Amino acid sequence: MQTVTLIPGDGIGPEITEAVVSILKEAGAEIEWDIQTAGADVAEKEGTPLPDRVIDSIKRNKVALKAPVTTPIGKGFRSVNVQLRKSLDLYANLRPCKNIEGIKTRFDNVDLVVVRENTEDLYAGIERQIDENSAESIKIITRKASLRISEFAFDYAVKNNRKTVTAVTKANICKLTDGLFLNCAREIADKYPEIEYKEILVDNLCMQLVQNPEKFDVLVLPNLYGDIVSDLGAGLIGGLGIAQGANIGLETAVFEPVHGSAPDIKGQNKANPTALLLSAIEMLKYINQKNIAEKIEKVLYKVIKEGKVLTCDLKGNASTSEFTKEIIRNL
């Protein structure tokens, strides 16, 4: 039995969490959940959306499954997601984007992986109001963070039989910051002669991704470009409802969907739990419960391929609970 921190989050978080927990239980996952609330409601009661108990729980358990958490706006709180990633040093954000059979998209051969640096860049949050009409934000890029994210990307490529790693920057404009990132990527590339290494500017990448996404394999990017490109990747495969992610550090991993708390559909039993379920499947693999992971994966893909019971975001008319029941029935 493995203890895993579970953050049900807010917005659609609790609904999709309930769905995923019931699927994992039915599939026989050997998990004891250490439930830790966080987000807007918690901020009202505990004065912060991310109390220390949440961080302590993840440090203790080393693994977490996290639904989206809202950071209350305009109350001076730092983003919960950024804070979590920074305080646990979850330096790599991994977002695989692969077509799922049965989900119609413009392309049917997308299979790329976005490896996003997770701790610095403009997310360092160093901003300053200069005067009434101007403000500035400082972009931090360090050698240490750039080397380790590049190493992560190449190591991932080797372990997952990938062929190419492409470093994505805007080094023609941000010569010092993105230039440093690129130099670090080149340095690591030299250590992996078996993996082809390429470079591309982020604007060019965006254009090519919407024309020929099949050309790309593993992408490694600084934080901000990584954030934007991973949403683009989610769009290529059918939207945020199916886009999974993981934040990985040396000792700890937090698995979470790419999407946010979707307040527009909160409490309507409409949300697609697939992105959180795919994140949970990756988590099961990470904690060595591969058989259970594959069992759920097979059923999920079967239900989607059949196309009879799908949520609205996938052009179906099933509710969250009907989709969940269909998966459980097939298990």
Query: Site for ligand ATP (CB under 6 A): which residue of 51, 72, 260, 316?
Result: 260
Minimum Å gap between C-beta 4 and ligand ATP is: 21
- Burial grade of 216 (CB within 10 A; 0-12, 13-18, 19 or more): buried
- Rounded Cα distance between 111 and 17, Å, is 27
Q: Which residue, among 276, 271, 321, 274, has the nearest Cα to 299 in the 3D structure?
A: 274
Query: Site for ligand ATP (CB under 6 A): which residue of 4, 103, 153, 275?
Result: 275
- Rounded Cα distance between 331 and 296, Å, is 7
- Rounded Cα distance between 306 and 89, Å, is 41
Please report whether residue 241 would count as binding ligand ATP according to CB under 6 A: yes
Minimum Å gap between C-beta 243 and ligand ATP is: 9
Minimum Å gap between C-beta 30 and ligand ATP is: 26
Which range, of 130-138, 144-152, 163-171, 271-279, touches ligand ATP by CB under 6 A?
Answer: 271-279
| CB-nearer residue toward ligand ATP: 222 or 245 | 245
- Rounded Cα distance between 117 and 139, Å, is 13
What would the x/- binding string for ligand ATP be over residues 277 to 306, using CB under 6 A? ------------------------------
Please report whether residue 29 would count as binding ligand ATP according to CB under 6 A: no
Residues 178-237 that bind ligand ATP (CB under 6 A): none
Which range, of 97-105, 203-211, 257-265, 290-298, touches ligand ATP by CB under 6 A?
Answer: 257-265
Query: Site for ligand ATP (CB under 6 A): which residue of 168, 265, 284, 299?
Result: 265
Which range, of 83-91, 122-130, 164-172, 254-262, touches ligand ATP by CB under 6 A?
Answer: 254-262
* Closest residue to ligand ATP, based on beta-carbon distance: 260
Minimum Å gap between C-beta 70 and ligand ATP is: 7
Tell me the site size for ligand ATP, rule CB under 6 A: 13
Are the beta carbons of 220 and 149 closer than 8 angstroms? yes
Please report whether residue 85 would count as binding ligand ATP according to CB under 6 A: no
- Rounded Cα distance between 3 and 24, Å, is 14
| CB-nearer residue toward ligand ATP: 190 or 264 | 264
Minimum Å gap between C-beta 102 and ligand ATP is: 16
Minimum Å gap between C-beta 272 and ligand ATP is: 4
Are the beta carbons of 33 and 6 closer than 8 angstroms? yes
Note the residues at the interface with ligand ATP (CB under 6 A).
12, 240-241, 259-262, 264-265, 271-272, 275, 313
